[in-house]
């Protein structure tokens, strides 16, 4: 089975590397340039997404956001012009669930399968092949692609039909963002009230307030280590997918909207590249108080 891979950035390069290490023939395209490390492992560089599609059975896409996926699929020299019946497109980018359903419907016209399979776990997870992969699409397509997912990740869940993988990823990012907000308000309150936020964090661990975010991001807030990690601008992109989708679905996500505004307040202070735990800085400005 020939595999295509489009988008060899920070995430895509190690992911494609695992597929090559597993012995797959890999046809690769990137808007910028296919990295030397993949060429050294035997990747075949192609001149367009279309060329990748023509030579591959399963084509993986790993690009930043909805418009990039749209361009890869339907732009000039896009996948749509190169695919034929029986091929499967696997979008591992984190994009809009609603756009995903539209893309999949158009791809289905050509008799091709479509899986949305966004990941969480970041650069470290991509490098160590420990990504969580949330998949939407037909069971039969999932069964074919599953061995490829297993070379790239650990926690692989088929959530449901097309779009449901992206929906789960958006839900994940809502929970992560709002839990960061929860921990930030609590620790800042504790500090401003005169308590030691590190002690308060410890007292809260183990009870109903406990979470991975309290553990990891709470510790970052207390120690003020705001190097990413996961950059605020990426979380802004994910919450934009949440809020844009929610508007189209006619529903309110009030705390998600608030969280996005606080990320924007961080950006206003030059914080787009801070780790997302630095959301506390937006609250600190509003409290005229820095914890620690």
List the catalytic residues. 169
Q: Which stretch binds its own copies (CB under 8 A): 16-24, 28-36, 140-148, 240-248?
A: 240-248
- When the beta carbons of 53 and 145 are compared against its own copies, the nearer one is 145
Contact pick of 13, 48, 93, 211 for its own copies (by CB under 8 A): 211
**Per-residue x/- mask for its own copies, residues 72 to 111, rule CB under 8 A?**
-------------------------xx-------------
**Per CB under 8 A, which of residues 28..57 are in contact with its own copies?**
none
Residues contacting its own copies: total by CB under 8 A:
73
- Pairing between β-strand 58-61 and β-strand 2-6 as defined by DSSP bridges: parallel
Distance between CA atoms of residues 115 and 2, nearest Å: 17
| Among the residue ranges 4-12, 17-25, 61-69, 190-198, the one whose residues contact its own copies (CB under 8 A) | 190-198
User: Which of 258, 269, 290, 292 lies at the binding interface for its own copies (CB under 8 A)?
Assistant: 258
Pick the binder of its own copies from 37, 144, 246, 267 (CB under 8 A): 246
Among positions 199, 223, 224, 247, the unique one binding its own copies when judged by CB under 8 A? 199
CB 154 within 8 A of CB 184: no
For residues 228 and 161, give the distance between their C-alpha atoms in angstroms, rounded to a whole number: 33
Residues 57, 81, 245, CA angle at the centre, nearest 5°? 90
Other Cβ atoms within 10 Å of 49 Cβ, number: 29
CA–CA distance, 229 with 248 (Å, rounded to integer): 31
With b for 16 or more beta-carbon neighbours within 10 A and e for fewer, the 20-48 pattern comes to beeebbbbbbbeeebbeebeeeebbbbeb
Please, which of residues 110-129 interact with its own copies by CB under 8 A? 120-121
Give min distance, CB of 78 to its own copies, in A: 26
Question: Whole-number minimum distance, CB 245 to its own copies, in Å?
Answer: 6
Distance CA 129, CA 205 (A): 29
Where do the DSSP E strands lie in 74-148?
Answer: 88-91, 113-116, 119-120, 131-136
Which residue from 84, 155, 225, 269 is in contact with its own copies, where contact means CB under 8 A? 155
CB of 63 to its own copies, least distance (A): 22
Cβ 98 to its own copies shortest distance, Å:
8
Shortest reach from residue 282's CB to its own copies, in Å: 9
* Options 7-15, 32-40, 103-111, 280-288: segment touching its own copies (CB under 8 A): 280-288
179: contact with its own copies by CB under 8 A: yes
Q: Is residue 132 within the footprint of its own copies (CB under 8 A)?
A: yes
Q: Which is nearer to its own copies, 84 or 155 (CB)?
A: 155
Q: What is the 3-state secondary structure (H, E, C) of 39-85?
A: HHCCCEECCCHHHHHHHCCEEEECCCCHHHHHHHHHCCCCHHHCCCC
Task: Choose, by CB under 8 A, the member of 85, 109, 140, 254 that binds its own copies.
Answer: 254
Characterize 257-274 residue by residue with b for buried, 16 or more Cβ atoms within 10 angstroms of its Cβ, and e for exposed: eebbebbebbbeeebeeb
Beta bridge partners, 160, equal 136
> In the complex, what is the shortest distance from the CB of residue 68 to its own copies, in angstroms, rounded to a whole number?
21
């Amino acid at each position: 089975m020939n595999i295509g891979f489009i988008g060899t950035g920070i995430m895509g390069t190690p992911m494609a590397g695992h597929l090559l290490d597993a012995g797959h023939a890999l046809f690769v395209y990137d808007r910028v340039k296919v990295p030397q490390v993949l060429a050294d492992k035997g990747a075949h560089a192609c001149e367009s997404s279309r060329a990748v599609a023509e030579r591959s059975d399963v084509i993986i896409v790993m690009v930043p956001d909805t418009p990039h996926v749209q361009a890869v699929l339907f732009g000039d020299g896009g996948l749509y012009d190169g695919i034929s019946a029986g091929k499967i497109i696997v979008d591992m980018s984190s994009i809009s669930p609603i756009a995903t359903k539209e893309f999949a419907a158009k791809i289905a016209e050509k008799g091709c399968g479509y899986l949305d399979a966004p990941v969480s776990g970041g650069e470290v997870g991509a490098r160590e092949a420990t990504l969580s992969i949330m998949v939407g699409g037909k069971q039969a397509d999932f069964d074919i692609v599953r061995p490829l997912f297993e070379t790239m990740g650990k926690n692989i869940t088929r959530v449901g039909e097309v779009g449901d993988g992206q929906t789960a990823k958006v839900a994940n990012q809502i929970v992560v963002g709002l839990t960061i907000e929860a921990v930030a308000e609590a620790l800042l309150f504790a500090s401003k009230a005169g308590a030691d936020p590190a002690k308060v964090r410890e007292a809260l661990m183990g009870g109903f307030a406990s979470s991975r975010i309290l553990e990891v991001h709470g510790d970052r807030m207390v120690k003020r280590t705001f190097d990413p990690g996961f950059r605020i601008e990426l979380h802004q992109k994910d919450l934009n997918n949440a809020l844009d989708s929610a508007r189209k679905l006619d529903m309110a996500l009030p705390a998600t909207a608030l969280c996005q505004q606080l990320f924007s307040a961080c950006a206003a202070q030059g914080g787009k590249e801070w780790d997302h735990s630095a959301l506390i800085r937006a609250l600190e400005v509003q409290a005229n108080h820095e914890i620690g």
